[in-house]
């Protein structure tokens, strides 16, 4: 595993960091090396897959090693040449709204203290809560009634601060940018704080797999990602396995080509490193918005996010990369464009924003809604009030939209959808896929959303940050700050609304991603709490403020400890066993073309697992109940899935014989045991007919039989 880690890390640097290094300096003026690293990764993720997809699409090639090398060098050298020709981007490293947090008024501190005390009590079990299945953090969540009480208390704190803030600021005589509790941070400490946060994020990802998983990996979705990466290497496209953007799998395939490692060997060693990306992204956005301290605090809060760890824990890597990294860095470019509109900032926004479409459809939905509102309410009116700013913003959004259409055209069959819209054809598969998703996913209960997916410290400090953001949106010192604050508010509002509406099709993903803007706002709330202790306040106010500070630190610290404690535990999302892996290796070694058929057992994961290990992409298998609720079906439709089900139920029928011939099935793979779900004894029906299905491999967990019955 150590050699795999070294090889994969070097290849990831070559594919995912180095190509964007000069682009980061050309189109943005990074304030420090952390922001430069985040931008380099983002531009690499945006440009390398785009460059690699040109020859694969035009020439119908798979992603070969020459294509990978040519794509990496093209992006790197064009960035270098443009950097030499046009020079580095100019700009200062001052935030849009320097240090916006001011101390909370004394009356606002009282309900906040009560809310934080109750939340801390729930977290440690002193206040009754609900024990949910500990799929993420294992922490007790507040009851629905307690969730409402806590939300009302924090809201009361925000309202009281709005009412009393003018009086408080006049009495105390403080400025928004100073506080005795927050002296200037020494340079030596500044150099250590962010690396410490990033190491914490890495530890959260790696400790569990190192202790319990390796050589396998927790989660189930990485089997699908392995199949899609293999298809990109073999034929340069993902269809008809799934309707899915190719960005993440192009990067994975590139690393695979450079190292010779299979995707299933890459994910265990590089998957945990993806938890760095949300921290880097929120540091970039927070420091650009409000300053270095806010960026570090926002990065730290990612360690507490249950939704972030859920994506890693379930191997939903494209979700993590897109909605919690690329989208956030694109918003940082939008903030920079608000403040310093230029051709370079506009290109940065267009390139990074459009890359979201290349990686994940749900994050593309977030971005489309948010930027549509920005365009209608900000860009177009600004054309008449601030022509230069409005023109740059409008043109960059237009370019972003055009690039997004180019990226989405092939993946989602937009040509067919347009034809159907005008009555020229039957349409593509996108409309049908969207229709299958609407109103099919359950909404997270409020207390589970707050207590697990977002986590209580982030939820309550983030809600406080929402009120502070709204209160101070008109006191930001100009249009750029007001636009930036309102954009952050819209981002959080869209995700919250989407998490409560099943008609979005993905309310649970909206809920998992809600923690990201709330982590940014929690940094604002935490800073306001810390600034509430000052020498020029009356003794009762200082006492209450000190209590609030202690409760905030205790709540955040306990939340971080519980999050890390759960990450260290063995995973409940471990489907693999050595015996199953042995069967997968046998299939790969005997893969001479054709397809395999896998017995269906409690959703599609068991079949996709064997497809990934055997280097196949069909046939997938689903249980009958899933076929009736076609949310996760491949674009092939239900008929092949029904054929699989009929074959394993009645393997001696003439229909089964015809199915095996029609799909060129070489082997039938039958599970006997699985570690995380019950199995149906389909294997006994094949074992009882060795003349028709001679066994070719068997161990404790798997039976593989030959399917060439008609030719024998």
What is the rounded end-to-end Cα distance, in angstroms, of the chain?
43
pLDDT of residue 229: 97
pLDDT of residue 474: 54
The CATH code for residues 578-706 is 3.40.50
Q: Domain locations in the chain?
A: 578-706
Query: 580: which DSSP letter?
Result: H
Per-residue tokens: 629: 């609720």
Helix or strand run (H / E) with residue 20: none
R_g of the chain, CA atoms, integer Å: 27
Helix or strand run (H / E) with residue 589: helix 578-589
Q: Contact, 197 vs 519, CB < 8 A? A: no
Average pLDDT, 10 consecutive residues per value, the chain (712 residues): 92 96 93 94 97 92 95 97 93 82 88 96 87 60 92 93 66 42 65 94 95 92 95 93 94 97 96 97 96 95 95 95 97 94 95 96 94 92 88 95 92 68 57 60 90 94 92 71 93 96 90 97 94 75 90 95 91 91 96 94 91 94 86 85 95 94 96 91 94 95 84 45
**Helix, strand, coil percentages in the chain from 3-state DSSP, rounded to 5:** 70, 5, 30
pLDDT of residue 687: 94
Query: 428: which DSSP letter?
Result: -
Who contacts 644 (Cβ-Cβ below 8 Å, separation ≥6)? 597, 598, 600, 619, 620, 621, 622, 659
pTM of the complete model: 0.93
CA 252/CA 267 separation, integer angstroms = 9
In sequence order, the β-bridge partners of residue 670 are 703
Query: CA 73: distance to chain centroid?
Result: 27
Q: What are phi and psi of 173, to 5 degrees?
A: 70, 30
Who contacts 531 (Cβ-Cβ below 8 Å, separation ≥6)? 101, 102, 103, 174, 179, 181, 182
Who contacts 466 (Cβ-Cβ below 8 Å, separation ≥6)? 158, 489, 492, 521
CA 207/CA 201 separation, integer angstroms = 10
pLDDT digits (tens, 9 = 90+) for 470-528: 876 556 668 899 999 999 999 999 999 999 998 888 999 999 999 999 999 999 999 99
Q: Can you spell out the DSSP letters for 83-119?
A: HHHH-PPP-----SSSS---PPPHHHHHHHHHHHHHH
Please, what's the largest Cα pairwise distance for the chain? Answer: 94
pLDDT of residue 125: 86
Number of neighbouring beta carbons within 10 Å of residue 389: 21
Q: Contact, 190 vs 292, CB < 8 A? A: yes
CA 551/CA 554 separation, integer angstroms = 5
Name the one residue in this structure whose structure tokens are 């509102």: 373
Residue 256 burial (CB < 10 Å; 0-12/13-18/19+)? buried
Return the beta strands (E) in 56-187 as ranges.
Answer: none
pLDDT of residue 644: 95
Q: Would you mind telling me the total number of residues written for the chain in this entry?
A: 712
């Amino acid at each position: 595993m150590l050699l795999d880690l070294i090889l994969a890390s070097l290849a990831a640097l070559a594919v995912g960091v180095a190509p964007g290094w000069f682009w980061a300096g050309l189109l943005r003026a990074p304030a420090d090396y952390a922001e430069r690293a985040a931008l380099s990764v983002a531009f690499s993720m945006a440009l390398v897959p785009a460059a690699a997809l040109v020859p694969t699409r035009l020439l119908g090639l798979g992603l070969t090693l020459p294509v990978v090398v040519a794509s990496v060098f093209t992006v790197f050298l064009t960035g270098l040449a443009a950097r030499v020709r046009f020079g580095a981007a100019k700009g200062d490293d001052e935030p849009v709204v320097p240090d916006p947090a001011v101390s909370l008024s004394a009356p606002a501190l009282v309900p906040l203290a009560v809310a934080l005390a109750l939340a801390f009590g729930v977290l440690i079990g002193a206040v009754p809560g609900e024990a949910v299945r500990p799929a993420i953090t294992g922490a007790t969540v507040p009851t629905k009634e307690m969730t409402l009480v806590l939300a009302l208390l924090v809201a009361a704190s925000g309202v009281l601060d709005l009412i009393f803030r003018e009086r408080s600021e006049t009495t105390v005589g403080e400025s928004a940018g100073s506080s005795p509790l927050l002296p200037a941070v020494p340079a030596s400490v500044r150099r250590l704080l962010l690396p410490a946060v990033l190491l914490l994020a890495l530890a959260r990802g790696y400790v569990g797999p190192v202790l319990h998983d390796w050589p396998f990996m927790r989660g189930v979705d990485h089997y699908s990602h392995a199949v899609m990466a293999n298809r990109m290497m073999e034929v340069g496209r993902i269809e008809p396995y799934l309707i899915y953007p190719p960005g993440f799998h192009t990067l994975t395939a590139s690393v695979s080509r450079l190292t010779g490692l299979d995707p299933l060997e890459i994910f265990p060693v590089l998957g945990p490193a993806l938890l760095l990306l949300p921290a880097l992204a929120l540091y970039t956005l927070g420091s650009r918005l409000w300053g270095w301290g806010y960026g570090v605090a926002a990065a730290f809060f990612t360690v507490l996010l249950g939704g972030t760890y859920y994506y890693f824990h379930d191997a939903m890597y494209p979700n993590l990369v897109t909605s919690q990294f690329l989208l956030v860095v694109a918003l940082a470019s939008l903030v920079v464009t608000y403040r310093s509109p230029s051709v370079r900032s506009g290109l940065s926004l267009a390139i990074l924003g459009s890359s979201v479409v290349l990686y994940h459809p749900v994050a593309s939905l977030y971005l489309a809604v948010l930027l549509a509102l920005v365009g209608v309410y900000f860009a177009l009116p600004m054309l008449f009030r601030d022509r230069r700013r409005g023109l740059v913003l409008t043109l960059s959004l237009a370019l972003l939209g055009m690039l997004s259409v180019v990226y989405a055209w092939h993946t989602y069959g937009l040509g067919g959808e347009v034809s159907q819209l005008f009555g020229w054809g039957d349409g593509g598969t996108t409309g049908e896929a969207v229709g299958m998703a609407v109103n099919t996913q359950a909404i997270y209960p409020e207390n589970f959303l707050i207590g697990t997916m977002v986590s209580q410290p982030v939820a309550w400090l983030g809600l406080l940050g929402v009120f502070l953001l709204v209160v101070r949106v008109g006191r930001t010192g100009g249009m750029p700050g007001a636009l930036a604050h309102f954009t952050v508010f819209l981002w959080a509002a869209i995700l919250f609304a989407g998490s409560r509406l099943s008609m979005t099709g993905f309310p649970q993903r909206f809920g998992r991603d809600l923690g990201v803007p709330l982590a940014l706002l929690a940094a604002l709330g935490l800073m306001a709490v810390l600034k509430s202790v000052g020498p020029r306040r009356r003794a009762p106010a200082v006492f209450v403020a000190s209590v609030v500070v202690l409760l905030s630190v205790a709540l955040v610290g306990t939340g971080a400890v519980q999050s890390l404690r759960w990450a260290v535990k063995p995973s409940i999302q471990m489907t693999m066993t050595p015996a199953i892996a042995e069967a997968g290796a046998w299939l790969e070694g005997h893969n001479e073309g054709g397809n395999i058929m896998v017995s269906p057992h409690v959703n599609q994961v068991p079949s996709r697992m064997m497809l990934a290990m055997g280097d196949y992409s069909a046939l997938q298998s689903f249980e009958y109940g899933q076929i009736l609720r076609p949310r996760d079906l491949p674009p092939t439709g239900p008929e092949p899935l029904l054929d699989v089900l009929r074959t394993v139920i009645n393997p001696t029928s003439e229909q089964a014989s015809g199915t095996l011939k029609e799909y060129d099935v070489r082997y039938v793979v039958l599970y006997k045991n699985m570690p995380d779900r019950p199995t149906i004894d389909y294997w006994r029906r094949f074992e009882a007919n060795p003349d028709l299905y001679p066994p070719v491999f068997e161990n404790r967990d798997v039976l593989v039989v030959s399917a060439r019955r008609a030719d024998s």
